[in-house]
């Protein structure tokens, strides 16, 4: 999945070291070009059925854990409340409903 228009709150992303770091300016956020999310199976689960709902109006929110390299421990970033907000997800995978294909754009 590819997320466009993401904002990183509470820290900054250092491209040279490929890690998150403390903010250096007065800004409380940093715009990210794109975020790629890759699903990876780590354990075998017997049944993992997920209901995907489509809404014409309103919002659909999901919370995903994101693991990023950092010299500073993860507890520091959790206590600071660091998060990535994605406004317009662009999913590259096609989902099918019962009769019509549905594309998330």
Domain contains 88: yes
Of 60, 47, 49, which Cα lies nearest the Cα of 89?
60
Instruction: Please give the tally of structural domains in the chain.
Output: 1
Domain contains 9: yes
Domain contains 54: no
Domain contains 50: no
Backbone phi, psi, residue 84, to 5° = -110, 125
Of 63, 100, 53, which Cα lies nearest the Cα of 85?
63
Domain contains 91: yes
Question: What are the pLDDT digits (tens) for 18-71?
Answer: 888 888 777 778 888 777 777 777 777 666 666 665 555 556 566 777 778 888
Q: Is the pTM of this model over 0.75?
A: no
Structural domain boundaries, residue 92: 2-39+60-102
């Amino acid at each position: 999945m590819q997320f466009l228009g993401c904002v990183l709150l509470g820290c900054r992303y250092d491209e040279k070291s490929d890690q998150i770091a403390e903010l250096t300016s007065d800004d409380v956020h940093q715009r990210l070009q794109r975020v790629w999310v890759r699903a990876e199976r780590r354990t075998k689960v017997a049944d993992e059925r997920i209901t995907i709902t489509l809404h014409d109006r309103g919002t659909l929110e999901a919370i995903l854990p994101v693991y990023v390299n950092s010299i500073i421990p993860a507890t520091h970033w959790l206590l600071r409340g660091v998060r990535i907000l994605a406004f317009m997800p662009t999913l590259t995978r096609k989902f099918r409903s019962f009769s019509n294909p549905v594309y998330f754009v």
